[in-house]
Structure 1
Amino acid sequence: MLAFIGLVTIVLVVGFLLLGKMSPIVALTLVPIAGALLAGFGPEALTEFFNDGLARVMQIATMFVFAITFFGVLQDTGLFRPIINGLIRLTRGHVVAVTAGTALVGVLAHLDGAGATTFLLTVPALLPLYLRLGMSRYLMLMMLAIGAGIANMLPWAGPLGRAAAVTGLDVTELWQPLIQVQLLGIVLLLGLAVGLGLREQRRIRAAGGPAPVGGHEVGGVAATADEAALERRALLPVNGALFLAVIAALVTGILPPALIFMIGLSVVLLINYPQVEMQMDRIRAHAPSALLMGAIILAAGTFLGIMDGTGMLRAMAVAMVSVLPESAVGNLHIIVGLIGMPLELVLSTDAFYFGMLPIVLEVVQPAGVPADQIVHAMVIGNIIGTFASPFSPALWLALGLARADIGTHLRYSFFWMWGFSLVVFGAAMALGLF
């Protein structure tokens, strides 16, 4: 009975998230509470489950609030704009170079972990160049999506934070083994970009080809008047050093991630916007996205605390093990990782990490597989497809900016992205991550 209630609870949570009938906060809070009440647990037990769940995610929620605000303020200072513009100008008029540059721009633009910002920065800047060269806008979208997917393994980007909330593991410790995967992924992506760029070059030549693009015609990411007023170009080296210092602190784990971002945010505000009112304006500007992510993580803590405390997850795992072939039990995380990209078409990020990951953990961990290996397999297998998912609001923004449609995007990109995902997955397995 407990396994059945747990299954219904997770199906309802995933279903509401998929259909957009409830926000993640509402679904992750009300549905598991209803399931717990149905299973016979009262207010006292719910309080205990809530406190246990909250304790598991508080550090992560705090990190997200300050990390998103920190990178948002760095974006305000104009730190990333010259890098992106420089790459755009370096690739002028050369199809293969434009394709490779687009891949790198996707990685760099997603350093703040915000998909909407990534596409707002890049698509308007790159689209005129693609159109002038006669290149496919869907090639641009795919390169940006894969590049952003690789960067999405960063601890403040979202998926790892969700996984850390589910497992209770430190998000920095989860990320450190993935650094080599990200670096390898960038190299592999550049190889793919060169190959697809050559293919695109042949296609353009076969079609007659447009006139060459001169350097003066190559645009960049132009700042609006409001954005220009916030930029601090004279402080670019200082802000760059601060960015690298924060990354180094995260990699070394010298301090808790939340404290690192609290310090980083305080310093970047003090250096760039010394007036108190401007500091508060910058915090208010980025508070909505920061608080939303923090609130989702806290709601996820409630969900996981209830599902674990009531024993629903364990009951579901026992039921699943009884019907799975014995050989599949210890490898379920690998099976899910291999089909992680197609799962993006039917599961949102929240549904994947808050719905599927807990069940896989309960099934696979008793077989002796550490939680971090389970997370690595599922993250690497799934994350490249983040911006091929119809449940990604950032993808819809990118499609709108590029004047493209999702059907053509999926037909153009899906198998390339899945194939790339499988290659990275295989490389990570060879490196011993799972």
Structure 2
Amino acid sequence: MTPSIFLNPAFLGLAMVMTFMTLIMTKRMSAIAALLLVPILFGLIAGAGAGLGPMMIKGVLQVAPTALMLAFAVLYFAIMMDAGLFDPLVRKVLATVGEDPVRIALGTAVLATVVSLDGDGTTTALIVITAMLPVYRKVGMNPLILATLLGSTNSLMNFVPWGGPSARAASAVHADLAQVFLPLLPAMIAGLAGVYGLAWLFGRSERRRLAGAAPGATIADQPVVALAPPADTEAAALRRPRLFWLNLVLTVGLLLGMILSLAPLPVLMMGAFAVAVTINYPNLREQKARIAAHADNVVNVVVLIFSAGAFTGILNGTGMADAMATAALSVIPPNIGPFLAPITALASMPLTFVMSNDAYYFGVVPVIAQTAAHYGIAPEAIARASLIGQPVHALSPLLAPIYLACGLLGVDVADAQRFALKWAVLICLLVLGAALLTGAVPLVAG
């Protein structure tokens, strides 16, 4: 290779992403440090120099609303857990699923499906983990199972028209949203059935493992969760059973506000937190203590999101993202052009893992759709194909929900990725198979 090749934006972008992924997957650097240092280094190599600052600021500003919303979301649901809002729900879930790992795993998938109807991964993670993690801890099940079922289910439910990926895909190729979603619905249902089957297999495996464990034994890496209630005596003092219905109405109102988009999500969450902390802990000293008790989790999540914003800011600002997309298409031989739809579906897995949805759908997908049109492939088909990789995308280190979920579960992001990635790929292939059978994604043009 000549020096000019090494300075090519596509090569630098690929090298940057691979370096970043290697560092965090091998745990040689923390995600926060890698998200900041790696793009700065490659940005300097690319000659961005003084332009790196504005690029990072632009990226951070783009994720600032998400960081703001998550900060107050973590605090809000922490206050609700402290106040005991979810205690009746946990008791109901326990009464329904008992202590059978199979029923617990299936219950996780079903609950994630229902909660995911609002199309927001962050809200789903908060609610499902808050409800199900105490059950997993009580029984001694591996929390990585919860993370895997949650991510796969939520990513498939994001196929719905009000989900972010579908809206982006349709907009990117200028297609009608209904024409993108409705033909993909059978494949989405097949994917959900696959997740339920996976939950059954996980449950069977955990049932066998726990049956062989000594009574009262727990798994070695059982996490200490940031939002877990304190010791029993302290937890009892924090409970507010007389405010249960008021807290429930406030939470339901908050979720309805999110679904109906009554106000920007950060505004809804900030307002709800202010009301919740005031009515449950009116004493200022108590409020300060509750915020301090959950400050570590808030800081970790917010800093990670800002770091991811800086990473994507440099990736986009230096032109590396666009160059990577163009280079990926340039290697496709003309004779396999008619197969661009399934190729797009397969490529969506690695591409969405290393790119944000915005970069992928607005940078890569339009170029693919343009190329596919020359072979008679409808843009709606490319839009549907581009959605297939969403279960893998849910594990991307550039996403806020995975950091939130892993923070709540007390597990490392790299461990969650290693455990869940193979299952996410399997679910993607199942969805692709169903989409090919139903014609939602054509195998060959014309």
TM-score range, shorter chain: 0.5 to 0.7
Matched, 1:335 2:341: no
Using the TM superposition, give the Cα deviation of residue 274 of structure 1 relative to its aligned residue in structure 2, in angstroms: 0.9
Report the counterpart of residue 288 of structure 2 in structure 1. Answer: 280
User: Which residue in 2 is equivalent to 1:257?
Assistant: 265
- Post-superposition offset of 1:199: 8.0
Counterpart code for 2:257: A
**Map of 1:225 onto structure 2:** 233
Cα distance change, pair 278–422 in 1 and its aligned pair in 2 (3 A): farther
* Contact persistence 1:333–1:378 (CA under 8 A): no
Q: Give the Cα separation in 2 of the matches to 1:359 and 1:336.
A: 11
Is it true that 1:53 corresponds to 2:53 in the alignment? Answer: no
After TM superposition, give the deviation of residue 184 of structure 1 in Å: 6.2
AA partner of residue 256 (structure 1): P
> Equivalent residue of 2:48, what SS?
coil
Deviation at 1:83, TM superposition (A): 1.1
Q: Does structure 2 retain, via aligned residues, the 8 Å contact 1:102–1:144? A: no
Distance in 2 between the 1:316 and 1:19 partners? 24
The CA deviation at 1:298 is 1.2
Q: Give yes or no for the alignment of 1:37 onto 2:44.
A: yes
Q: Scaled by the length of structure 2, what TM-score is found?
A: 0.63
Q: What displacement does 1:272 show?
A: 0.8
1:126 maps to what in 2? 139
Helix, strand or coil for the counterpart of 2:282? coil
Looking at structure 2, the residues matched to 286 and 395 of structure 1 have their Cα atoms a distance apart, in angstroms, of: 11
Cα offsets for 1:256-299 (capped at 9, x unmatched): 11111101111111111111111121212222212211111111
- Gaps (5+ residues) in structure 1? 128-136, 208-220, 344-350, 400-405
Partner of 1:320: 328
CA contact 1:79–1:239 (8 Å) conserved in 2: yes
Q: Residue by residue, what CA displacement relative to the aligned partner does 1:20-61 show, whole Å, maximum 9, x if unpaired?
A: 111222111111111121122222x12221232222111111
| Counterpart residue number, 2:68 | 62
Partner of 1:11: 18
Query: Is the Cα contact below 8 Å between 2:19 and 2:38 reproduced in 1?
Result: yes
List aligned pairs for 1:88-167, cutoff 5 A.
88-92=94-98, 100-101=106-107, 103-104=109-110, 111=124, 113=126, 120-127=133-140, 142=145, 145-147=148-150, 149-150=152-153
| Matched residue type, 1:270 | T
Kindly tell me: are residues 19 and 187 of structure 1, through their superposed partners in 2, closer, same or farther at Cα, counting changes over 3 Å? closer
* Seq. identity, %: 26
Report the equivalent of 2:242: 234
Conserved in 2, the CA contact under 8 Å of 1:64 and 1:294? yes
Write the deviation string for residues 135-186 of structure 1: whole angstroms up to 9, x where unpaired. Answer: xx67x9747742565357899xxxx99999xxxx9xxxx9xx9xx99x9699
Q: Is the contact between residue 273 and residue 279 of structure 1 (CA under 8 Å) also seen in structure 2?
A: yes
Question: Alignment partner of 1:6: what SS?
Answer: helix
Partner amino acid, structure 1, of 2:41:
A
Query: Secondary structure of the residue that 1:113 maps to in structure 2?
Result: helix
Give the aligned residue type for 2:287: Q
Matched residue type, 2:69: M
Residues 312-352 of structure 1: per-residue CA shift (max 9 Å, x gap): 22222222211134636666652145x57xx9xxxxxxx93
**In structure 2, how many angstroms separate the alpha carbons of the residues matched to 1:279 and 1:242?**
18
Q: Is contact 2:329-2:368 (8 Å) kept? A: no
| Cross-structure match for 1:216 | none
Summarize the Cα distance change of 1:357–1:118 in structure 2 as closer, same or farther, 3 Å threshold: farther
Check 1:142–1:393 CA distance in 2 against 1; reply closer, same or farther (3 A cut).
Answer: closer
CA 1:59–1:222: 2 relative to 1, 3 Å: closer
Matched letter for residue 75 of structure 1: M
Q: Per the alignment, in what secondary structure is the counterpart of residue 256 of structure 2?
A: helix
Partner SS state of residue 33, structure 2: helix
Counterparts of residues 189-200 of structure 1 (less than 5 Å)? 192=197
- Cα deviation for residue 76 of structure 1 reads 1.4
- Specify whether residues 34 and 189 from structure 1 end up closer, same or farther in structure 2 by C-alpha distance, changes over 3 A only: closer
Give the distance between the partners of 2:330 and 2:253, measured in 1 at CA. 50
Distance in 1 (CA, whole Å) between partners of 2:317 and 2:196 is 47
CA–CA separation in structure 2 for the residues paired with 1:116 and 1:198: 17
Task: Please say if residues 36 and 306 of structure 1, whose CA atoms lie closer than 8 Å, have aligned partners that are also in contact.
Answer: yes
Distance 1:71 1:395 in 2: 11
- State the distance in 1 between where 2:55 and 2:230 align: 50
Cα-to-partner distance string for 1:355-401 (whole Å, 9 max, x where unaligned): 89846763323234799978854334554999xx9xx96799689xx
Aligned residue identity for 1:257? L
Matched, 1:362 2:370: no
Indicate how the Cα distance of structure 1 residues 282 and 312 shifts in structure 2: closer, same or farther if over 3 A, else same.
same
CA-CA distance at 1:95 after TM superposition: 8.5
Please, what is the CA RMSD of the aligned residues?
5.2
User: Could you tell me how far apart the structure 1 residues matched to 2:13 and 2:20 are?
Assistant: 11
> Using a 3 Å threshold, how does the CA distance of structure 1 residues 309 and 123 change in structure 2: closer, same or farther?
same
Partner of 2:376: none
**Are residues 1:303 and 2:311 paired?**
yes
Cα distance in structure 2, aligned partners of 1:196 and 1:47: 48
One-letter amino acid matched to 2:266: A
